[in-house]
Amino acid sequence: MSSEHSGIHVSPLSIYFTIFGALMILSAITVGAAFVNLGSFNPIVALLIACIKATLVILYFMHVKYSSQLTKITVVLSLFFVAILFAETLMDYATRGWIGGGGVPLH
């Protein structure tokens, strides 16, 4: 097997430093946003920044950007199922207390 067709992609070191810098800037923005009173939008802003950082890590540090279509489909489907789990958790949290006054007593 020749090294020309091995399917391995080598990224330049400058890309890693650029992504690292972007992650550090986004982390600083997250810390700064924590000190700004946005009301109920604080968690939304923090989660949005976290999603951007996670996307950068998945694409570049986990090399998904240069992977096969099967790997990309697997990542997208995994994120889809995680989104379903988060949605179910959010629905459970949002609807607690609707029936029976807030739950069953433990004693």
**Please, which pLDDT band fits residue 50 given cuts at 50, 70 and 90?**
very high
Q: Taking 80 as the threshold, does the pLDDT of residue 98 lie above it?
A: no
Question: What average pLDDT is seen over the chain?
Answer: 86
Q: In whole angstroms, what is the distance from residue 66 CA to residue 38 CA? A: 38
Q: Which H, E and C letters describe 44-105, residue by residue?
A: HHHHHHHHHHHHHHHHHHCCHHHCCHHHHHHHHHHHHHHHHHHHHHHHHHHHCCCCCCCCCC
| Single-letter amino acid, residue 91 | M
Provide the token pair at 90: 């959010």
Q: Taking 80 as the threshold, does the pLDDT of residue 65 lie above it?
A: yes
Q: Judge whether 49 and 26 are in contact, CB under 8 Å.
A: yes
Nearest Cα neighbor of 34 from 19, 24, 47, 22 is: 47
What pLDDT, on a 0 to 100 scale, did the predictor assign at position 31?
95
Q: Is the model's pTM score more than 0.75?
A: no
